[in-house]
Amino acid sequence: MSSQSTLEKFVLISVIRGKKNGAGLALYANRKKGFGNRTKTIIMKIFSDELVAEAARVNHVADLSHATIGETLLVAQYLEQKTGIPFIRMDQGSPGLPANKYGIEAEKRALDSGIGSQYPAAAGVPELKAAASEFVKAFINVDVSPRACIPTVGSVAGSFGSFIACCQRDPKKDKVLFIDPGFPIQKSQLRILGIEWKEFDIYPYRGEALRAKLEEELKDGDVAAIVYSNPNNPAWISLEEDELKIIGDLATKHDVIIMEDLAYFAMDNRRDLSHPYVEPYVRTVARYTDNYILMLSSSKIFSYAGQRMALVCISDKLFDRQFPALAERYHDTGVFGPTFIASIQYMITSGCTATTQYGYAEMLRLSCEGKINFVEDTKEYAVRAQKMKKIFCDNGFTITYPKDVNEPIGDGFFFSLSFPGLTGGELASELIHYGVSSINLDTTGSLQPGVRACTSRMRDELYPVLEERMRAFKEDHGTK
């Protein structure tokens, strides 16, 4: 048995467990392989159609080819638990590094101080607001006053409140424009809110071509906000300075608010963004318009996802703008910032956990002082992406979104994959049979046939497993 490959061992385990559990595992016999002096059938797929269908049925997943992140996660967990065979988990973008120790210790000190008995202020604790303002200056070189830096329960809560404020400020502006591909949850939020949206896949509109496309989308005057992430979830493309200037110029021209999601802050490893107060700075639309909301999450850069802490940093000019429609609706002054804090965001979160605010403040403060190098800490994701991309590309896959205008995309938390002859839905469904979970790019607004791959859960011992499974995938699907 020592001469067996990793894949062969998993297949034999599948057969044994399948018989034991009455499950139809590994039914596909596609080739013969030598085991010493014996010849044994090697089954290329790890999980049979019957077992995958069972996993989908039990978890109420109607269509695996268009499954959400949560649905894919449930199917992968079911198959893993039923068979004991490990999955290559590329579905959920959950951090795969330890939480930052400085944040943890600061939270402990805050709790020991007795603040747990008091409600946190809706606007946030002063220490976090000051640290956020300084962090934005240190790494983006943009000035946002502490009063306009508001903590939220993750960027999900931040975008939810921002959608409300942006789309209620002017009755004529009631739609959101997504520069896709993007984060599917944000469209789910608009479904809850009953807000309509427009969208376009940026793939054919990079560089100067973006200007004409945005003008086309904005000409009716009904767009309240534009949303994108930079670097991008799911494709890891990064908007360049010229593109950000186009977006900023048109935001000012058409009075549109840019919601810039910086969840993967400074994780474009093609440039060294690790030094505070030193060029190069993180790229942002904030250099080109006053109509912006920056969303800064602690989840990825500090691996602090479990504490659900982020910041909404609003341009000072937007923060102080008065909108009659907001005043009429909320019976207040209608000033954007105070209305966002007291009349909207507080209704969503009732304030953010105070101890976590102190933890986040400490991590931001130490980053500005150069005592935490969060950029270096997160480079592990780039290392994983390089290894994973090579395995996939060596076995017939291609990168769906391969470049930013004129240079190859960087390596980081996400990347995109295509396979000849398969739609994104077909590819996502097929990969499940080989013990690899991902999501169809069409759930992110992409028009390209492919899937999103996340690097966060990859481990060293899984690289040879992935390599053998993708070699089997290649052979099964007839590529040369």
Asked whether residue 385 carries a pLDDT value surpassing 80, the answer given is yes
Q: What is the pLDDT of residue 253?
A: 98
Asked whether residue 92 carries a pLDDT value surpassing 90, the answer given is no
422 and 353 within one domain? no
369 and 385 within one domain? no
CA distance 104 to 111: 11
Q: What is the pLDDT of residue 32?
A: 36
Q: List the CATH number of the domain containing 458.
A: 3.90.1150.100
Q: Between β-strands 175-180 and 196-201, what pairing exists: parallel, antiparallel or unpaired?
A: parallel
In a domain, 32, yes or no: no
Q: What is the pLDDT of residue 69?
A: 87
Q: First CA to last CA across the chain, in angstroms?
A: 30
Q: List the CATH number of the domain containing 229.
A: 3.40.640.10
In a domain, 62, yes or no: yes
444 and 364 within one domain? no
Measured CA to CA in angstroms, residue 423 lies from 65, 430, 450 at distances of 9, 10, 6
CA distance 295 to 171: 25
Asked whether residue 5 carries a pLDDT value surpassing 90, the answer given is no
In a domain, 469, yes or no: yes
Task: From 121, 130, 233, 131, select the one nearest 178 (Cα to Cα).
Answer: 233
401 and 385 within one domain? yes
- Please tell me the least confidently modeled range out of 9-13, 153-157, 245-249, 351-355: 9-13
Using the 3D structure, point to which of 320, 350, 373 is the last residue of a domain: 373
**Mean pLDDT within 296-318:** 97
3-state secondary structure the chain: CCCCCHHHHHHHHHHHHHHHHCCCCCCCEEEEEEECCEEEEEECCCCCHHHHHHHHHHCCCCCHHHCCHHHHHHHHHHHHHHHCCCCEECCCCCCCCCCCHHHHHHHHHHHHCCHHHCCCCCCCCHHHHHHHHHHHHHHHCCCCCHHHEEEECHHHHHHHHHHHHHHHCCCCCCEEEEEECCCHHHHHHHHHHCCEEEEEECCCCCCCHHHHHHHHHHCCCCEEEEEEECCCCCCCCCCCHHHHHHHHHHHHHHCCEEEEECCCCCCCCCCCCCCCCCCCCCCCHHHCCCCEEEEEECCCCCCCHHHCCEEEEECHHHHCCECHHHHHHHCCCCEHHHHHHHHHHHHHHCCCCHHHHHHHHHHHHHHHCCCCCHHHHCHHHHHHHHHHHHHHHHCCCEECCCEECCEECCCCCEEEEECCCCCHHHHHHHHHHCCEECEEHHHHCCCCCCEEEECCCCCHHHHHHHHHHHHHHHHHCCCC
Residue 251 structure tokens: 């935001």
The Cα angle at residue 197 between residues 442 and 332, in degrees rounded to 5: 140
**Mean pLDDT within 234-250:** 97
High-pLDDT (> 70) share of the chain, %: 91
Per-residue pLDDT band for 479 (boundaries 50, 70, 90) equals low
In a domain, 324, yes or no: yes
CA distance 184 to 450: 15
- Residues 165, 169, 174, 179, Cα dihedral to 10°: -60
CA distance 93 to 450: 17
Using the 3D structure, point to which of 353, 373, 393 is the last residue of a domain: 373
Task: From 297, 344, 299, select the one nearest 123 (Cα to Cα).
Answer: 344
414 and 365 within one domain? no
Pairwise pLDDT comparison (228 vs 34), residue with the higher score: 228
Residue 161 structure tokens: 């409140």
Asked whether residue 443 carries a pLDDT value surpassing 60, the answer given is yes
208 and 87 within one domain? no
In a domain, 42, yes or no: no
412 and 280 within one domain? no
Please count the structural domains in the chain.
2
Per-residue pLDDT band for 33 (boundaries 50, 70, 90) equals very low
**Mean pLDDT within 453-457:** 95
Q: What is the pLDDT of residue 30?
A: 37
Q: CB-based contacts of 415: which residues, under 8 Å, 6+ apart?
A: 235, 236, 385, 388, 389, 399, 409, 452, 453, 455
Q: By residue range, what is the domain housing residue 384?
A: 51-95+378-476
